[in-house]
A and B are shown apart, each in its own frame.
Chain A
Amino acid sequence: MVNVQRKTKNKSFKHKKLALLLAIVLLSGAAYALIVLKNHNTAVTGKVNYGPPTAQEKKAGDTVKDDVIARQKQEQEAQQQSEDNASANKKASVIITDANQYDNTVEVRAFIPDYYQNGTCTITFKKDSYTVAKTTPAYKDATTTICTNPLISRTEFATAGTWQLTVAYTAQGASGQSEVKNVMIK
């Protein structure tokens, strides 16, 4: 009788262990699926994802508020600075993105990332005693101020070789100049 009872108890314990193990396996699979799918939407129809927003996409709405607040503060400070230092000249960065000879035309592309104002760009090439300088408008575009490409004819360069290029920007309240860039004129 005693043996039968012990066997029964052991059997019951084994069943519980099995059930617990199964539960763990099930939960693990489900949990993994959830973790992986957290940032991946389902319900893609054709090429358009009509699924609900991911957690990261939902959070984006909160995160952007910080940017909005920072920009508002920046705009207020800029406004204040502008009023306090009406005559002060801000230093603007001038970035040359491309300067090369293409067939018989020398092109210079440059922009100002940190000042947003129409103005003037002066593109200057120097070599030995020679200078080639052009002035073009700088204009506000979507998010930067862009220098107009001067499109200089090769014939304006007295000699072939390496010329030193700088681009300067002037506008109301700001000015700046690029780093020197070597340009090969053929």
Chain B
Amino acid sequence: MQIQFSLTKSSFKKTLLFVSVLFAVSGFMLSINQAQTEALSGSSFKAGRIIDDAVFTNTHSMSASQIQSFLNAKVPTCDTNGTQPSGHAGYATRADWGRAHGAAPPYICLKSYSQSVPAITNSGSDLCTGNISAGTKVAAQIIYDVSRACGINPQVLIVLLQKEQSLVTDVWPWPVQYRSATGYGCPDTAPCDSEYYGFFNQVYQAAQAFNRYARNPTNYNYRYGRNNTILYNPNTACGSSSVFIQNQSTASLYIYTPYQPNRAALNNLYGTGDSCSAYGNRNFWRMFNDWFGSPYGSLLRTTSSSTLYYTDGETRYTIPSMSIINQYGLGLGDVRFVSQQELNDTPLASSPLSTQVGQIVKSPSDSDSDGGSLYLISNGQRLPFTSLAQLSDFGFSTADIHYLSLNAILRLQQPGNLSNFVRTPTDGTIYKIENGTKRLIFSLAKYNQLNTSGKTSLLSAFTLSQLPAGSPIEDGDYMVRDNVGSIRLYNGNGFHTISSMNVYDCWGLNGVKLYQIDSYQRTGGTNSGTLGCFGKDSGGNVFAMAKTRRFQLADSQNISPSETSDSIIQRLPTATMKAVIKGSGSELAVLENNKRRPISSMEVFSALGYSSTNIDTLPQGLYGSFSLGAKKFAPGSLAMSSTGGIYVIASSNSRLAVTSMRQFNDYAFGSKALAKVTNTDLAAYSDAGTLANIVKVGSDVFLIDSGKRYLIASGLDTAVGINRSSLPTIAQQIAERTASKNMTQFIKSDAHNTVYYLENGHKRPFTSWQKLVDMGGNTQITTLSDFRVQQFPTGSSL
């Protein structure tokens, strides 16, 4: 059976459409990707750092055969006979044009160029230290030999040949281009010096010059580690700018070609700028990038090991962390992958150098050109310490010093001495560094007062983060508010958190300086806890803070005063608190043991003897800060418990239970306010027993009955049957609602007509009116309630 695979017309079209679109999109994406990964921008050019020393002196970058392969690739076909069109009117071919200008074919392309080279012996020379053998050599070999003899990267020489004479890619080079191949001895505005003619001579002189510049940095017109005025063009009218040259190799390029590209030249990186543009160093940088990748490579590693090293071109150092090497202005973009051989060829630093870079550095010798200064490396700069005390201020000691080569140190710009007043580039906050801490300075006025020199040092955020925050520097009382709106009050040692606007109010903080910061991490100092409305000064005195005044309290029971500075407390004058306090509501209270005891009614308020002049209105925050105590009653006040029991307040701290409604009525309590109380309220008044109907009030004795109080004269004690000294005493206010009467020895019930004579606590009924008259009782009968009368036991009749 045959199995046939066939596409229908429709599916074929769809497939074709899909593949085509995929192809087109891939083409676009590939182009974009290529553009993104390879396009160089003039904005990336750094006038002070065209190439790193480590790259400039890397003689292992290419072998002679690799150089040859490179040259071959850049000239696939040499126009040896100049047969291609000249591009000039009247001259059909290049040969025609060349002849007209003294340069007839054949044209020898660089890939094929060769010449006789003399032997060069350099032992002991301070320029190129290696030897070069004699012989007829091709250009690639010459480049390689000079590179090795003079310690210059062959890629540098290749770019130089292209920059000066386009020799690398020229398919019909003229002899004059070889004559002055590297432009050595060829000033811009004067004839070339014939002493330096010839390809090998040119290449060798150029390489030797680079060595000469490096070995005698003092003698030339540009020096690394310094600010240099660099022209844009030989025409001085085009101006110049100051450039901090970071390394010797960049200085060497400027000594060789003393102009920097202007903005017009950088904006048109592959073309021309304006009449003030010069292109030499721009083209060097561009060509090196295009052919050999980034000219930066101060950080080395191999592909097989992740260990990263810093190199100054001669020595390599280990790196403790990327944060540290970032302080040198270096990052992942400066990493160069090298072979193990190349790595080994750059020796690891050894004594007197430290093996590792650090933040505190010095060259090994005190007589170096920098005077043996000790530096803090931060933010890509070197900042010399002015004293060992300053080193300590920054939290370091001599044990933190790393010894680096002078070259490694001087490549960093030195803006001035290290100041103890510092800030970061992205943040205007200024700190004073003291005793290993950073102390925030809030106000410009304070800063100007402290720092009369006006100089601050720019440190990186990393360097600053290594210092713990100390307490800010500010005079007097102040507050800080962070980005989430929380406010803290400084107390001399640390910060109180202000928990609410009520507390803010208590302390009367309007008028205290308030500084806005983004985070409390900047402030340091101790955390002094949350501030309430009570404070304690250095003498242990406790105060209640009331916005415009403060009250001294007897003690701190039932409150939690914050220990704070005397100056904050003393901002408010002292005052004496009145007997009754209130907040913003209607509640009135008295303060007992720092608890507020609400006065249960205006009747009680009056009963306690208060008037409106006794009321002190406090900020609600303070008022509410006093915890709630039991309700306050006056003696004589009535209270009903949750279980319905009725009590009369007997004194400031005791209560008597009312035994019955009869007794309630006897005392005429019905006209009094009856407050409902909680168990807590009740507990504030100790149980003094039950209310009696025969009581002492002061020195008087009364019988309480039916809303009246009958005064029992002392002569009637025996008749009534009472022992005055053992009677309970009640407060006057308890019986105050009863009408005052005098008790007699002759009593009768309000329900009956029988009159009785009290004798020895008994009632003796009169059997006749005449007897009553004879005893003189007819005009002084005391009428009591029948209940009360029946309380007396009955004696014999009269």
Contacts and interface: CB of A to CB of B under 8 A. Distances in A.
B485 interface: no
A144 B221 contact: yes
Contact of B31 (A33, A146, A148): A33
A65 B167 CA distance: 11
Contact of B20 (A22, A78, A79, A109): A22
Contacts of B205: 142
Interface string A135-148: 00000111111111
Contacts of B228: 97-98, 109
B122 interface: no
B185 interface: yes
A139 B232 CA distance: 22
B292 interface: yes
Given A63-B166, A113-B234, A143-B184, A48 B291 contact: yes
Interface in B1-60: 13, 16-17, 20-21, 23-28, 30-32, 34-35, 38-39
A110 B221 contact: yes
Given A103-B371, A143-B187, A40 B27 contact: no
B192 interface: yes
Contacts of A50: 69-70, 73
A48 B292 CA distance: 5
B120 to A, nearest CB: 19
Contacts of B62: 48
Contacts of B257: 142-143
B234 A142 contact: no
Nearest to B218: A149
B759 interface: no
A56 B219 contact: no
B236 interface: yes
A130 interface: no
Nearest to A73: B101
B62 to A, nearest CB: 7
A61 B190 contact: no
Interface string B778-790: 0000000000000
A61 B222 contact: no
For this complex, into which size category does the number of interface residues on chain A fall?
Answer: 35 or more
B468 interface: no
Interface stretch (A2-10, A24-32, A154-162): A24-32
B221 A97 contact: yes
Given A60-B169, A143-B256, A68 B177 contact: yes
A40 B34 contact: yes
Nearest to B190: A116
Contact of A142 (B16, B20, B209): B209
Nearest to A115: B190
A115 B375 CA distance: 42
B170 A64 contact: yes
Given A64-B165, A95-B229, A114-B187, A146 B221 contact: yes
B189 A114 contact: yes
Chain A CB count within 10 A is highest, among B170, B292, B371, for B170
A53 B74 contact: yes
Interface in B200-234: 205-206, 209, 218-223, 226-231, 234
Contact of A40 (B24, B39, B69, B219): B39
A17 B206 CA distance: 64
Contact of A60 (B170, B229, B236): B170
A75 B234 CA distance: 17
Contacts of B706: none
Which 6 interchain pairs have the tightest Cβ spacing?
A: A61-B170, A29-B27, A29-B24, A47-B293, A60-B166, A75-B191
Given A78-B191, A111-B221, A111-B258, 4 more contacts: A29-B26, A61-B169, A100-B226, A110-B221
27 contacts: A30-B24, A33-B31, A39-B270, A40-B39, A42-B34, A48-B292, A51-B73, A53-B75, A61-B170, A65-B101, A69-B101, A72-B102, A74-B191, A79-B191, A95-B240, A97-B258, A98-B221, A100-B226, A109-B228, A113-B231, A114-B187, A114-B234, A142-B256, A142-B257, A143-B256, A144-B221, A149-B218
